[in-house]
């Protein structure tokens, strides 16, 4: 997890973020902790969104060990639970009560369900696919609640407001995606070879479609906010290490993939680059609604990810569920 990668140049690529405020969800471990590290080293005040004070404290100790740099910003715990949209909304409201600006929002937190714990068929108490809830619906409600402070910040002269949604190359692998109903959201892909993987990839496709539609909404309203979706790369994250270790010959599998996968520090760089790069500040129109891969490269997403009708379908169904369940 060393911070000496020769492939990335945060001091050269990233803006001076002193005076700016950011939120990174799922920032207590995995990629999130390194997305946050890149931003706080550039001077940002970053809210570390995690489900408990204990997890946040452990993460802050890890960040101190990594080294926060000569002019670090500030790290503040944000109590965020994405398993329930009302809790996500409450977290956003708590933030708004304390801050007058939000320059960067990185929706990074995601759940890859383990069949030994919840399985691809897990449902929330509301009867909704748990992966879809954590990976799409609650981030949607969280972001929707934060829009007033994001839009206010965007109205400040010389502001640079960005929303970054962490997706995955797996969005390319979803068979015949639909988002037109609760039944579609609850698709367990049980008729496919890898249902657990397909459920996860289905949520990651939703991340890109939502990003694109959100950008279209900002553009129509002439609100200068840049949204981007990001594939962070193939990363030897803590989750992947646990997954590989659980398999037969797990130690050998871990060793093999470590030869090809990047470190979490490197994996956190493309989301941080999207959130804070000088390049995006210089050419915002170039990056609006784009899908980025390591390290900050624009790549064309899948055909389904570029479908405006599918994005609108996802948006309508999500908004309908939010209304029906009174989450907003």
Q: Is the peptide bond before 258 cis (omega within 30 degrees of 0)?
A: no
Contacts of 268 (CB under 8 A, 6+ apart): 31, 32, 33, 34, 35, 36, 37, 38, 232
Torsion, CA 31, CA 33, CA 34, CA 36, rounded to 10: 120
What are the backbone angles phi and psi of residue 264, rounded to the nearest 5°? -60, -35
Q: 286 exposed, middle or buried (CB, 10 Å; 0-12, 13-18, 19+)? A: exposed
Torsion, CA 25, CA 72, CA 282, CA 144, rounded to 10: 20
Catalytic-labelled residue, pool 87, 111, 204, 290: 204
Active site annotation includes 200: yes
Active site annotation includes 114: no
Catalytic-labelled residue, pool 34, 47, 112, 200: 200
Torsion, CA 274, CA 278, CA 280, CA 281, rounded to 10: 130
Q: How far apart are CA 310 and CA 271, in angstroms?
A: 24
Catalytic-labelled residue, pool 131, 167, 237, 277: 167
Active site annotation includes 204: yes
Q: 216 and 312 in contact (C-beta within 8 Å)? A: no
Sequence-ordered alpha helix ranges (H) in 77-167: 85-98, 130-132, 138-154
Q: How far apart are CA 314 and CA 199, in angstroms?
A: 15
Catalytic residue IDs = 167, 200, 204
């Amino acid at each position: 997890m060393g911070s000496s990668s020769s492939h990335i140049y945060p001091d050269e690529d990233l803006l001076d973020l002193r005076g700016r405020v950011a939120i990174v969800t799922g920032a207590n471990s995995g990629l999130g902790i390194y997305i946050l590290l890149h931003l706080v080293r550039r001077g940002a005040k970053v809210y570390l969104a995690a489900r408990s004070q204990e997890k946040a404290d452990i993460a802050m100790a890890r960040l101190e060990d990594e080294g926060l740099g000569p002019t670090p910003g500030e790290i503040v715990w944000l109590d965020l639970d994405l398993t329930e949209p009302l809790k996500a909304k409450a977290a956003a409201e708590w933030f708004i009560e304390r801050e007058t600006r939000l320059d960067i929002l990185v929706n990074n937190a995601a759940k890859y369900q383990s069949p030994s714990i919840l399985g691809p068929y897990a449902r929330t108490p509301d009867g909704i696919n748990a992966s879809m809830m954590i990976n799409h619906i609650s981030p949607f409600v969280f972001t929707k609640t934060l829009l007033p402070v994001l839009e206010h910040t965007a109205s400040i002269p010389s502001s640079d407001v960005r929303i970054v949604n962490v997706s995955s190359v797996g969005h390319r692998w979803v068979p015949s995606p639909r988002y037109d109903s609760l039944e579609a959201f609850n698709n367990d892909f049980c008729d496919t070879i890898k249902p657990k993987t397909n459920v996860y990839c289905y949520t990651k496709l939703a991340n890109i479609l939502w990003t694109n539609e959100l950008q279209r909404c900002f553009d129509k309203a002439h609100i200068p906010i840049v949204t981007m979706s990001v594939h962070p790369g193939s990363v030897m994250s803590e989750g992947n290490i646990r997954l590989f270790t659980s398999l037969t010959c797990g130690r050998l599998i871990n060793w093999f993939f470590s030869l090809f996968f990047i470190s979490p520090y490197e994996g956190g760089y493309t989301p941080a680059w999207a959130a804070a790069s000088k390049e995006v500040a210089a050419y915002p129109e170039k990056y609006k609604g784009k899908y980025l891969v390591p390290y900050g490269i624009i790549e064309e997403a899948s055909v389904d990810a570029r479908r405006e009708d599918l994005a609108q379908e996802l948006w309508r169904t999500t908004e309908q569920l939010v209304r029906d369940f009174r989450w907003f």
